[in-house]
Structure 1
């Protein structure tokens, strides 16, 4: 794997697709500069890393049911204490959530989408925001995917079905950036 890169280094090199994404990148970089630990859940806006997992051979994507959000989403989540490399975070999260041990950045390790996502209040935490850094990961063993728990089923789908299943506009945007890579 390549040399670990901090979120700020990735964001500094990243080129946002539009003004909305540029504003999110600027806001996230300001948060990183001000926070002792930008991955800490104690920060109201904190870093997360996620990815769309693809099977390049079939051009399908893997979606995971998120009960808390009540929707089909990509994999990913929070960094563990001491983690600073967003790609390492999403590779770990991807393996934990899917059981896929062969995940790798695809077609390269490029950051594909940056978005600030609101997270509603729950009995366990106040409403907050995720500064989500999104990648694409691939597997050569799609049949090996196994959910980490029964309440988080996984589903391999073709891109048209993925667009039908998801309800989040920000994930639709991510998929629109992944789709040309699968062509």
Structure 2
């Protein structure tokens, strides 16, 4: 199966947690149906991106990157690459590359939420996952970041925008539901 096919499957099967997320899920599906290149940066009408919030549940913290180009504190993520065969693989690759942490694992159950936002290159139709950091994880800054820092859950709202806050809140709710 192609990345495009996997992405369409993931979105079709994903149980959106609310009406706003359901509207985005349907819009993403429509975008993919209309754009065979909808998972690639070359799609000028917008493209699917994959991201992952790196989380340390025992430490009650998340790892954010100060994005070099956007100069905002964000979760790890970005464009899908030709070597990505699944959307989850793309999110995990981005998280590993940008955090420098080996051994990340995605929170089971698929994406955490969706977020559509405009960037200098095009609209990003971001599919957001959560990645669990292994015990004792040490982060290493990448070329894509100005800084990389762990933030306690309750510190995120002071440094990041509402999209990141919503991602943290949804991730925490999913972690709490796991017991």
Return the TM-score normalized by structure 2.
Answer: 0.87
Counterpart among 152, 170, 173 of residue 163 in structure 2: 170
Residue number in structure 2 paired with 1:70: 71
Query: How many Å apart are 1:63 and its aligned residue?
Result: 0.5
Structure 2 unmatched runs, 5+: none
Look up the SS of the partner of 1:90 in the other structure: helix
Provide the C-alpha distance between the structure 2 equivalents of 1:181 and 1:27, rounded to a whole number of angstroms: 24
For the 8 Å contact 2:52–2:94, the answer to whether it is kept is: no
CA RMSD, Structure 1 to Structure 2 (Å): 2.0
Query: Once structures 1 and 2 are overlaid, which stretch shifts more, 80-89 or 69-78?
Result: 80-89
Using a 3 Å threshold, how does the CA distance of structure 1 residues 151 and 91 change in structure 2: closer, same or farther? closer
Give the CA deviation at 1:82. Answer: 4.9
Query: 8 Å contact 1:102–1:141 — kept in the other structure?
Result: no
Shift of 1:177: 0.4
Unaligned runs of 5+ in 1: none
Within 5 Å, which residues of 2 pair with 1:79-158? 79-106=80-107, 108-119=108-119, 121=120, 125=121, 128-149=122-143, 151-158=145-152
Which moves more between the two structures, 38-47 or 146-155?
146-155
CA distance in 2 between partners of 1:170 and 1:98 (Å): 19
Cα distance between partner residues in 2 of 1:104 and 1:51: 10
Spell out, residue by residue over 1:123-158, the C-alpha distance to the aligned partner (whole angstroms, 9 max, x if none): xx4xx2111111110111454210113843111111
2:179 matches 1:180: no
TM-score when scaled to structure 1?
Answer: 0.85
Q: Is the 8 Å Cα contact of residues 65 and 72 (structure 1) preserved in structure 2?
A: yes
Number of residue pairs the alignment of both structures matches: 172
What is the distance in 1 between the residues matched to 2:136 and 2:156? 16
Query: C-alpha displacement at 1:86, in angstroms?
Result: 1.0
Alpha carbons 2:53, 2:76 under 8 Å: kept = yes
Quote the residue 1:50 is aligned against. Answer: 51
Q: Secondary structure at the match of 1:42?
A: coil
Deviations 1:69-126 (A, max 9, x none): 22100001111125341110011111111111111012x142110121111x3xxx4x
